[in-house]
C-alpha cells in the first residue's frame, strides 16, 4: 500500500484514508491508493468504514468525490 504524509484533496482521486495520527514523531500517514470506482475510498478502506456502520453506509462531508 502506498502512503503519503499529507492529506490528499477531497476532490482528488486518491483514497486519503488516515492510517495513523500525529504521534510522538509528529507524522501522520494517509492511503495514496486510487479511489475505487463509485466509492469514496479504495476498496479496502471503503470496506473498513462500511463495517463500522450497522447498515454498511459510508457517510461523507460535502466536497468529497467518488472514484471514477
CA torsion sign for 19, 21, 23, 25 is positive
DSSP 11: T
In 4-14, which positions are buried (b, 16+ CB within 10 angstroms) versus exposed (e)? eeeebeeeeeb
Please say if the pLDDT value at position 25 is more than 90: no
For the question of whether the overall pTM of this predicted structure is more than 0.75, the answer is yes
Please say if the pLDDT value at position 23 is more than 70: no
Q: pLDDT digits over 30-66, tens only?
A: 999 999 999 999 999 999 999 999 998 999 988 899 9
Domain residue limits, the chain: 1-60
- The confidence score (pLDDT) of residue 27 equals 77
Amino acid at each position: 500500500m502506498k502512503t503519503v504524509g499529507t492529506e490528499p484533496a477531497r476532490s482528488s482521486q486518491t483514497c486519503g484514508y488516515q492510517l495513523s495520527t500525529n504521534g510522538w514523531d509528529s507524522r501522520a500517514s494517509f492511503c495514496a491508493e486510487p479511489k475505487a470506482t463509485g466509492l469514496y475510498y479504495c476498496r479496502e478502506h471503503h470496506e473498513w468504514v462500511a463495517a463500522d456502520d450497522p447498515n454498511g453506509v459510508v457517510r461523507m462531508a460535502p466536497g468529497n468525490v467518488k472514484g471514477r
